[in-house]
Amino acid sequence: MDIEKAVVAKLNIRGNVFEILVDCEHALKFKRGEDVNLDDVLATNDIFKDIKKGEHASNLAKFFNTEDKKEIAKQIIKKGEIQLTAEYKQKLRDEKKKKIINLIHANAVNPENNLPHPITRIEIAMHDAKVKIDEFKSAEEQIKDVIDKLRPIIPIKYEVREIAVKIPAQYSGKSFSVLKRYGKMLKEEWGNDGSLLVALEIPGGLQMELIDKLNDLTKGSVDVKIMNVR
């Protein structure tokens, strides 16, 4: 890769900073667990304590239990922070804006005629409402705030569902973050056996997507019930 286009990935361990140069997009894919060749991620194999000053890191084995720089780079990417380019941040915002618009088009209606708002109308309303998309939050996390900002601009009714979700103990930990990302937690109970019972408020159109994701995580052992639709 072109080292001039590289960004910094860094990890802080007990006050000690370790930095490497990476390709922004490939590093994010690697961090998410996608199948990416590490050579496509790294701009250089050097490990720095301060890239701007050109200062290399020392005592690597003390902090990483290895001197293998590629293994150390993996840990920095997986556990650390990746500096995003302005171009990539805009790409993330554009992707999330598109998903939010599609969710609104699929799940919201104009209460005056019970028909969906055209995608172009939603885009114009978001512009008029000066909606700001956060590249670090999922579309699901942002959609409620977007709807609230659109209400003064266009008549809009958005279906919301309250669901009860029960997760067996062995899957409760990794399922919890998924539940938080998809909706608003109304109730959260942890059983003595480690199982998780959650009452969740979500956009109606996300119900099947959430159930599919939970079924994958729990190997089909999740229990979901619709409590209310409004």
6-24 pLDDT, tens digit each: 999 999 999 999 999 999 9
pLDDT at 180 over 90: no
Q: How confident is the model at residue 229 (pLDDT cuts 50, 70, 90)?
A: confident
pLDDT at 80: 96
The whole-chain average pLDDT of the chain stands at 92
- Cut 0.85: pTM above it: no
pLDDT at 108: 86
pLDDT at 1: 66
- Measured CA to CA in angstroms, residue 28 lies from 94, 99, 134, 152 at distances of 17, 20, 17, 37
H helices then E strands: how many in the chain? 9, 11
Crossing angle of the two packed helices 24-31 and 69-79, in degrees rounded to 10: 80
Task: Identify the top-confidence range among 48-52, 103-107, 136-140.
Answer: 48-52
pLDDT at 166 over 80: yes
pLDDT at 204 over 80: no
Q: Tell me the C-alpha distance between 142 and 160, whole Å.
A: 14
pLDDT at 70 over 70: yes
Domains of the chain: 3-82 (3.30.1250.10), 86-158 (1.10.10.900), 160-229 (3.30.70.240)
Share of the chain above pLDDT 70, in %: 99
Those residues with Cβ within 8 angstroms of residue 47's Cβ, 6 or more apart along the chain or in another chain: 18, 19, 20, 56, 57, 60, 69, 72, 73, 76
- Residue range 87-95: mean pLDDT, rounded: 93
Q: What is the pLDDT of residues 25-44, one digit of tens each?
A: 999 999 988 889 999 999 99
pLDDT at 89: 92
Instruction: Note the residue count of the chain.
Output: 230
